[in-house]
């Protein structure tokens, strides 16, 4: 079946007892057993397995072209569980423009457990080759990145990583693109990671994360860790993401359509110093983006003239664009990453320009969005 059909049906069957079309929210922590050590249908305890979560996990696997999906309490919980595949002394090579919270987890938490991290420019596959060491076990990519929308050629990096004698695992954070726009497993990645808080949920009402893999042995190690560490997604949140995913294709098309109208406007605006959008002709990796993504997505970043003051005045003047962190919901959001989402990387090599403004373009009417940006830019 094709993507749009899978988004609505994968992992979901009408409930056998009463025919309910929507997957029920199984609010249960435990399950009656048929006899000692004889669980029914493999359900014993909801940290290990819950039917609502399982439906979502099957759906995620289908959408990413994987074989196994795992749902977690947040994107960072998913990331943390993946990192527990490693042993003390192992080295991780990560992109130098990863999500601020990912950087903080790697640099401020996991370093204390004797994992080594190098942050390299993954948009240049050669610099990935140069930064691999004899102890590298994991390569962590994000594409497009948050907030600079840098694009990495997943296939080119996969070839380099897999040619290395260690055969490190390649993980791709696919939060910004979603499986509708880009499927990293088909381009050679071993694992896909999501913050489902963003486009997969799509309605700014849930925090969740996911890991999707193809390989059975890797999946078994991750399922062990998911249960042993315990940062699982609850049944209500699983239901909300399942529901959100049903409209993912139509939402993503509209996000991108609206974004392209705003991109044309911003590219010509005298107060915009530099526009960043993966499918815009000025983007340095535009060709790669067009090859590996279906459309340019709903995220736009731009540098505004007049520095931090100007950026702050503009975002505070926006009315329809809500001043808020996060992204990927149906409603448009605006923020200044250096002072908000990316404060945790201030002073590090991932530092963000204070005049950068990030838009998460929603699916409201294009003219209303344009009008709001037009009036807000007058305050810049
Ligand atoms: C938000 C985000 C995360 C973290 O996910 P949470 O659900 O907030 O824990 C990871 N990667 C990217 C690209 C994100 O935007």
Q: Do 33 and 106 fall within a single domain?
A: yes
256 and 214 in one domain?
Answer: no
Q: Do 130 and 33 have their domain in common? A: yes
Dump pLDDT digits (tens) for 225-248.
999 999 999 999 999 999 999 999
Residue ending a domain, among 221, 245, 269, is 245
Q: What is the dihedral of CA 50, 51, 54, 60, to 10 degrees?
A: -130
- From the list 80, 153, 173, 190, the catalytic residue is 173
Which residues span the domain enclosing 193?
3-245
pLDDT of residue 169: 98
The answer to whether 313 is a known catalytic residue is no
Between the alpha carbon of residue 161 and those of residues 95, 129, 319, the distances in Å are 13, 7, 46
> And the tokens for 108?
């401020």
Alpha carbons 251 and 256: distance in angstroms, whole number: 9
Which atom number of ligand 1 is nearest to the Cα of residue 142? 13
Q: How far is Cα 362 from Cα 324, in angstroms, rounded to an integer?
A: 13
Residue nearest to atom 12 of ligand 1 (CA): 99
Residues 108 and 7 in one domain: yes
Q: What is the pLDDT of residues 322-376, one digit of tens each?
A: 999 999 999 999 999 999 888 877 777 777 899 999 999 999 999 999 999 999 9
**Do both 84 and 222 map to the same domain?**
yes
Nearest to 282 by CA among 149, 123, 142, 143: 149
**Active-site residue flag, 264:** no
Active site residue 198: yes
pLDDT of residue 345: 76
Number of structural domains, the chain?
A: 2
- Say yes or no: CB of residue 97 within 6 Å of ligand 1: no
Spacing of C-alpha 125 from chain mean position = 21
Same domain membership, residue 223 and residue 275: no
CATH number of the CATH domain containing 87 = 3.40.640.10
Which position among 104, 198, 214, 254 bears the catalytic label? 198
Supply the pLDDT for residue 246: 98
Residues 271 and 241 in one domain: no
Q: What is the pTM of this model?
A: 0.96
Token output for 349: 């090599």
Final residue belonging to a domain, choices 215, 245, 275 = 245
- Give the total residue count for the chain: 380
Among protein residues, the one whose CA lies closest to atom 7 of ligand 1: 75
The domain that holds 303 is classified in CATH as 3.90.1150.10
Residue 153's pLDDT band (cuts 50, 70, 90): very high
Are residues 271 and 372 located together in one domain of the fold? Answer: yes
Residues 239, 260 within the same domain: no
Query: Residue 184 and residue 292: Cα distance in Å, rounded?
Result: 9
What CA–CA distance (Å, rounded) separates 303 from 357? Answer: 6
Same domain flag for 229 and 313 = no
Spatial distance between the Cα atoms of 138 and 171, rounded to a whole number of angstroms: 7
Q: Is 204 in the same domain as 281?
A: no
Q: Same domain for 101 and 170?
A: yes
Asked which of 219, 245, 271 is the last residue of a domain, the reply is: 245
């Amino acid at each position: 079946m094709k993507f749009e059909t899978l988004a609505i049906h994968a992992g979901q069957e009408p409930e056998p007892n009463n025919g309910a079309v929507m997957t029920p929210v199984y609010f249960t922590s435990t399950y009656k057993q048929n006899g000692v050590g004889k669980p029914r249908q493999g359900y014993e305890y909801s940290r290990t397995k819950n039917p609502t979560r399982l439906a979502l996990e099957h759906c995620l696997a289908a959408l990413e072209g994987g074989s196994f999906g795992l749902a977690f309490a947040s994107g960072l919980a998913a990331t943390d569980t993946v990192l527990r595949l490693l042993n003390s002394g192992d080295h991780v090579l990560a992109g130098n423009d990863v999500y601020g919270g990912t950087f903080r987890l790697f640099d401020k938490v996991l370093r204390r457990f004797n994992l080594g991290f190098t942050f390299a420019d993954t948009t240049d596959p050669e610099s990935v080759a140069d930064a691999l060491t004899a102890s590298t076990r994991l390569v962590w990519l994000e594409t497009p990145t948050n907030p600079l929308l840098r694009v990495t050629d997943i296939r080119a990096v996969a070839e380099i990583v897999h040619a290395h004698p260690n055969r490190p695992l390649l993980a791709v954070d696919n939060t910004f693109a979603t499986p509708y726009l880009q499927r990293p497993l088909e381009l050679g990645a071993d694992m896909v990671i999501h913050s489902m808080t963003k486009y997969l949920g799509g309605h700014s009402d849930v925090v969740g994360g996911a890991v999707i893999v193809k390989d059975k042995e890797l999946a078994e190690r991750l399922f062990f860790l998911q249960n042993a560490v315990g940062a699982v997604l609850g049944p209500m949140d699983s239901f909300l993401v399942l529901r959100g995913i049903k409209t993912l294709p139509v939402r993503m098309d509209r996000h991108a359509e609206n974004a392209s109208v705003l991109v044309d406007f911003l590219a010509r605006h005298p107060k915009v110093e530099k526009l960043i959008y993966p499918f815009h002709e000025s983007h340095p990796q535009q060709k790669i983006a067009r090859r590996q993504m279906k459309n340019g997505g709903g995220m736009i970043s731009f540098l505004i003239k007049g520095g931090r003051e100007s950026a702050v005045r503009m975002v505070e003047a926006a009315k329809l664009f809500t001043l808020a962190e996060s992204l990927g919901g149906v409603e448009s959001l605006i923020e200044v990453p250096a002072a908000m989402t990316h404060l945790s990387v201030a002073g590090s090599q991932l530092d963000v320009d204070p005049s950068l403004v990030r838009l998460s373009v929603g699916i409201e009417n294009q003219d209303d969005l344009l009008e709001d940006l037009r009036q807000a830019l007058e305050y810049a």
